[in-house]
Structure 1
Amino acid sequence: MSTFPTLVLVHGAWHGTWCWQPLIDHLPDLDVQTVALPSSGQNPAVLGDLYDDAAAVAERVAAIGRPTVVVGHSYGGCPVTEAAATVATVHRVIYLSALMQDVGDSALSLVGGVYPPYWDVHEQPQEGADYGYFGAAEPLEALYGDVEPHLAQESVTRLGRQSLASVTQPLTQAAWRTVPSTYILCEEDMAIPLPLQEAMAARAERTVRLRSGHSPFLSQPAELARVLRDELAFSISDRRSSSA
């Protein structure tokens, strides 16, 4: 087994664990695990919410039973923020162009409660809650602008729906307040603008920059793998120095 912590990858809205494969292919010597978020899928009737997602992250990390570093991409930062502080084996949280918010915030609160233009929203109000969902209206431009065209088109066909509850429910915990964190800024991101990333990254202990769009695990998997290796190595040295 690698001396590095286990790397746990948490995808963003609309995606599934499939999106990580090009990155995983560049990390053959590491223990890499993925989490499938219940809020993303093809059938809107069975989609989970933010707290279901957080429970899935916490359960997977707890089951590993050894030191972990958890990576959240985009919306995946929300369930990671909610869950990571609840499992003692999490040594670091890495936000990859991800939502890094505080207690009481929701994904939608970042944009003043207004749906972004690249969301295809289907509201279904019921008993004071919204059980609707949304799709990605312009995924090629927003999500895959620098991804090789064939891979980008293939990825679009695999996108699912995302529950509205997952982006309207507030965080009740903020892992970055107690767990060391790194923010990886994607400087050419068309989905989460760089100034917004930078504002959230101010909360992180460390920041790293990539000249990439929103999905570097598809467009620059080798470079992202290098960055993650560096962060895993730093996590080990940081823990050693803290316990010395």
Structure 2
Amino acid sequence: MAGAVLVHGLYHRAEHFALVAQGLHAAGAHVVMPELHRGSLRADTAAVQAAVDALDEPPVVLGHSYGGSVITGLRGAAHLVYLAAFVLDAGESAARVGGATRRLRDAIVSAPDDSTFIRRDAAADVFYADGPEDRAAWAVDLLRVQAPGCGRGVPERQSWKHTPSTYVVCTRDRAIDPELQRVLAQRCTSVREWPTGHSPFVVRPELVVDLVLELAPGYTKPNGNDGRHSTAHRR
């Protein structure tokens, strides 16, 4: 079975995917979770490209939020998954496309060095409001300061034009406007809508696990049925 590469968004870390990684490992998948925060979109994309290139077979690559900007610039993925993420066209950046909710804007604090962070008292409400308090607290503890500039980066290529892709709209998202997500989703091969907030990999990791396994080349469910019973709406 091909591997999966999980790409986090701004303020987040690879560790936020821990529950998803556990589910994928249990199903026999090889999982790679590159750490971003490398100073620019170009550097973040290069780090993820290196992870993709190191695998024996083209993987499913999932990008969350800003992670969509990163995976848009990749080569060699078998399938792209945009989870409440930015699907950028030529010349576009996440900052230019916009879509941040008022809740998210109010939660962001700027430091003197132009880095930013999410107010601790607002983070759970913005990112994890649909989950249990203990799980949200764990995720909030992992959040980190974000260096400036990544959101203004423009991908050097648009991989969704050449690679099968699935967009997941998170309909209860309090960080990225679901209506913008639906607009961006039109660029993808297929679309799902989940009744979740911004971070289903924390709150409903089983949804993410099942989707990645369904899309993974060569995956077969344990009962012998192919894991590709899709409810996706094709565009």
Alignment TM class, shorter chain as reference: 0.7 to 0.9
- Distance between the aligned counterparts of 1:112 and 1:155, measured in 2? 23
Report what 2:33 is aligned to. 34
- Structure-2 residue corresponding to 1:223: 207
One-letter amino acid of the counterpart of residue 141, structure 2: T
Structure 1 190/234 Cα, relative in aligned 2: closer, same or farther at 3 Å?
farther
What secondary structure is seen at the aligned counterpart in 2 of 1:94?
Answer: strand
**Cα RMSD over matched residues?**
2.3
Report the equivalent of 2:110.
121
Structure 1 distance, partners of 2:210, 2:84, is: 16
The 2-side partners of 1:234 and 1:201 are apart by: 26
Tell me which of 177, 182, 202 is aligned to 1:193.
177
The question of 1:110 aligning with 2:97 is answered yes
Structure number with the higher helix fraction is 1
Matched residue, 1:175 = 159
Structure 1 spans left out of the alignment, 5+ residues: 40-47, 125-131, 238-244
1:53 aligned residue: 44
**How many positions carry a matched residue from both structures?**
215
CA distance 1:180–1:123, change in 2 (3 Å):
farther
**TM-score, with length taken from structure 2:** 0.84
2:230 aligns to what? none
Does the Cα contact within 8 Å between 1:133 and 1:164 map onto a contact in 2?
yes
1:73-222 aligned at under 5 Å gives the runs 73-82=64-73, 84-85=74-75, 88=76, 90-111=77-98, 116-122=105-111, 124=113, 132-137=114-119, 138-222=122-206
Q: Report the identity percentage.
A: 28
Deviation, 1:23, is 1.2
CA positional deviation for 1:65:
2.9
Q: CA deviation at 1:92?
A: 1.0
Q: CA deviation at 1:141?
A: 1.1
Query: Which of the pair is proportionally richer in strand?
Result: 1
TM-score of the two chains, using structure 1 as the length reference: 0.81
Question: Matches of 2:213 and 2:188 in 1, distance apart?
Answer: 18
CA distance in 1, matches of 2:214, 2:56: 22
Q: What are structure 2's unaligned runs of at least 5 residues?
A: 221-225, 227-235
